[in-house]
Every structure is written in structure tokens, then in C-alpha cells.
Structure 1
Amino acid sequence: MAKTLNTLLKQIAQLQKQADSLRSREKTEVVARIKEAIAHYGITTDELFGASPVKATRKRVVKAEGKARKPAAKKAGGVAKYTDGTGRTWSGVGKRPNWFKDALAAGKTAEDLLVSR
């Protein structure tokens, strides 16, 4: 007797429902046994899961496709090219900082603000 695709798909759906139901029932039983063991032995969450969970940081090693990879290194800041003499610096890359624009508006030139080396 040849089975049609629809017949097989219906059987698969029925079996999946049965499997889901069985898994749910087993899960309930397993959770009950675990709770009983925790109560009997006085197990704490620290004993069960280790020390209190720490917030994830970007420094932790991330596993991708089964291989551990190191976190990306921080980009080095640019070398200061301009300074206002009070500790504020700018590398000359990106948007001009307000102190730099204010100094230019006050009559200074970019050459006046260069860091002496």
C-alpha cells in the first residue's frame, strides 16, 4: 500500500504531539525529583550553580561554532595632535571638539594649537 505525502505528514504531526506530551510529563517528574533532592540535602543555589552570577562583560571569551575566540582588543586612542594647554587634546580625526572651535573663533590658528614635540 503506497502512502501519500499528506498521510505521512499527518502521522508525523501526531507523533510529534505524542512526543511533546511525553516530554512534558517526564520534565514535570524530573523537576519534582530535583526539588526533593535539593530539600533533602539542603543544597543552595551557590552550590548548585556556582557563585552568584556576574554580569556578562565584553571581556569574557565567546564561543562561536564550537571554538573559543578572544574578545576584540580595544582600539587605541589617537595620538594627540592639538592641545589647548589645559589638558584637553584632540587627535585631529573626527568632529572638531568645542574647545578647538572656540579657540579658532577667538583668533588662534590650528598651528597655534599643535602639540609641541
Structure 2
Amino acid sequence: MNSKELAKLLEQRNELDQQIEEARSNAKSAAIVEVKKLVALFELTPQDIGLGKRDGVLAPSGRGGPRGPVAPRFRDPESGATWSGRGKAPRWIAGKDRAEFVI
């Protein structure tokens, strides 16, 4: 293959890339119009379609983010200390039957 053939192929690729981008843009615009129609028709909320509000920005729900506080599930009868069951077990419950400490 000589340099002229290569240059011609590269030019064709650039033209195809432009056509692909234009087709993608048109398809995206049509999809957005259709989605807006469906949202209005069914009065959908962000939560209905799997989006939730996090830090003031719409984001996929159920992913990451800090979890809120949890009520304690276990209590040490001697000290009154509690543990939610999350994280590393405290010394007073480690290696013991947790059923004895359930609140």
C-alpha cells in the first residue's frame, strides 16, 4: 500500500466518523424527545426511573454514598455499651454468641 492509498483511506475514515457522529446526534435528539413525551404521559419522577437526588445532583440511586446512622442491635449488659452490627465487632462481643446481646 502506498502513501496515496493510505491518505485516501484516512480521508474516508474521517468522513465516516463525521457521518457516524451526525447520525448519533440525530438519534439522540429523537430519543430525548421520545423520553420527554413518556415522562409527561406517565408523570414519571426521577425515582421511578432509577434516579435519586444526592448532593443536589440527580444520580443513579443505590450506588455508593454515605449511609446514615443505624440503631444499635447489641448491648453489653455490664457496661451498657451498644453496637449496631456494622464494622469490626467490639471486644465485649467478639467471639461470643451474639444472641445473648441482642437488644
- What TM bracket, shorter-length normalisation? 0.3 to 0.5
TM-score by length of 2: 0.48
TM-score by length of 1: 0.42
Instruction: Name the larger-Rg structure.
Output: 1
